[in-house]
Structure 1
Amino acid sequence: MLAALTGAGLSAAAGLNAFIPLVLVGLFARFTDFIVLPDQLDWLQSWPAIIIGLLLLAAELVLDKIPGVDHINDLLQSLVRPLVGGVIFAATAASQVIDQSEFWQENPLIAGVVGAVISAGVHTAKSASRPSVNAATAGTGAPVASFAEDATAVGLSLIAIFVPILVIVVLIAMAAVFYRIVTTGRRRRRRRAQLEAEERAEREERAAAGIKTPWWRGRWR
């Protein structure tokens, strides 16, 4: 059970930022006994894997905070994040330290699929919420949202490693936040469309009556 929660937490973190849990797992496996990777995934703690992960993480931290570019980055990460999530779940759920889970050790393919599905779900929610944030803040909210997502990825990764039972609470909270952001954005878009339709109808009525609409009316309404 704890092994599955650890894998789920790290996979969910990968859905927010693929390289934060990847680097943390590599570092913990290399320098501590909290994670002992299975032989087939021992390469995650190698220096080349850690260094490449850090370089990709640096690029991700910058690109995800630029309005417009963050959407392109999310599209590119649509394959990367589920892939990393699957690898991370298979690596940590099969760890010999966390839970001694024979099932995950004997079924790495199932572990990989479960991790990929979890990561893809979080990535989809993140990608769906970001346009709402950008639209509501004229793009200025993108860096703030990105910092919040990065902090959540770090916190969730550490919770998954040290207190995996709390992963359930964090995932429920994340789902609630994403749902609120997406639904609020949809309401704002519907309200904006309604106002625009009302303005068009009013302009058409004034034009039909030969009344000129003041230049400031449409701008400041």
Structure 2
Amino acid sequence: MPPLSEALAGLMGGLGLSAASGLNTYVSLITLGLAHRNGWITLAAPYDWLGNEYLLLAITLLGLIDLIGDKIPAVDHVLHTVGMFLAPIASAILFASQTSSVIQIHPVILLAAGCLVGSTVHLSRSAIRPAVNVATAGTGTTVVSAIEDLVALMLSILAVVLPILAGMIAIVLLIMMSWLFFRVLGYAKVRLRQRWLRQTGDAAIHVDEPRRDQVSDIPPPADLDGQKFPPELHD
């Protein structure tokens, strides 16, 4: 069994990488692949394929597309939708690559843990971004996206050189993103309820009422003898 310090470093490094993947999947994969390829860290099989040069080239090209497109309103929403499938998978692989050789737990559990971390961060950013777009009329998209990229790069590098610190930052990030997610969700529920009440209120006000010409067309009621009241009484 590996020393406790190695297990802790692997766990915290895995947290850092999987959280970074939730923000920018490509940055975290490229950082880890380059670190392995240059001998800064050693990935155990079967995760050593992350350092393959052709894979890194493909990820870099996709990362450039994501880097540019994520700064454009509406396009970022499409990329986030794609990321809902990519981020959990990448996060699971990244987390397991750091923990599988130092923590004696079934690989499926490690993959699930990484998937959960990455999914939480990615879903939170996907929910927060539309609120930012609306609040800033789309002008805040570029700034927020750039901050996410920088945080993802910082976390990925720290996960390689200072894994304990990376894990601590990842835990704080998870708490903050989860809090923001539920805040945005609560705000969205309030807005939807207000809209529903406004629509139902308008519908109640604009209920069709009989017009005066329709009322005047109604025949006068009959008296007790079956005779109609005079028109002047009816009016």
Q: Please give the range of the TM-score, normalised by the shorter of the 2 chains.
A: 0.7 to 0.9
Q: Greater CA radius of gyration, 1 or 2?
A: 2
* Equivalent of 2:75 in 69, 74, 82: 69
Cα distance change, pair 193–136 in 1 and its aligned pair in 2 (3 A): farther
Letter matched to residue 150 of structure 2: A
Which whole-Å CA distance do the structure 1 matches of 2:162 and 2:156 have between them?
Answer: 10
Measured against aligned partners, the alpha-carbon deviations of 1:118-153 in whole angstroms (never above 9, x if no partner) come to 101111111111011011001111111100100010
Q: TM-score, normalised by structure 1?
A: 0.76
**Equivalence for 1:128:** 127
Q: 1:111 to 1:181 in 2, by over 3 A?
A: closer
Aligned to 2:230: none
Among 16, 33, 58, the residue aligned to 1:9? 16
Match of 1:32 among 11, 15, 39: 39
Q: Unpaired runs of 5+ in structure 1?
A: 96-100, 205-221
Counterpart residue number, 1:139: 138
From the superposition, tell whether residues 193 and 141 of structure 1 become closer, same or farther in structure 2 (CA, over 3 Å).
farther
| Alignment CA distance shift 1:173-1:88 (3 Å) | closer
- Please state how far the C-alpha of 1:190 moved relative to its aligned partner: 4.9
* CA-atom RMSD in angstroms: 2.7
- The alignment status of 1:52 with 2:89, answered yes or no, reads no
* Structure with a larger share of its residues in helix: 1
The structural deviation recorded for 1:41 is: 1.6
SS at match of 1:103: coil
The code of the aligned residue for 1:14 comes to S
Q: Indicate if the aligned counterparts of 1:16 and 1:122 stay in contact, CA closer than 8 A.
A: yes
Identical positions, percent: 32
Aligned length: 194
How far apart, in 2, do the equivalents of 1:144 and 1:171 lie? 23
Q: Which runs of 5+ in 2 are unaligned?
A: 1-7, 206-235
Q: Contact 1:21 / 1:154 at 8 angstroms: preserved in 2?
A: yes
**1:168-183 map, 5 Å:** 168-173=168-173, 175-176=175-176, 179-180=179-180, 183=183
Given residue 83 of structure 1, which amino acid in structure 2 is its aligned partner? I
TM-score by length of 2: 0.72
Q: CA deviation at 1:171?
A: 3.0
Q: Aligned in 2, Cα 1:131/1:21: closer, same or farther, shift over 3 Å?
A: same
Amino acid at match of 2:89: L
2:24 partner amino acid: N
* 2:36 and 2:43 in contact (8 A); partners too: yes
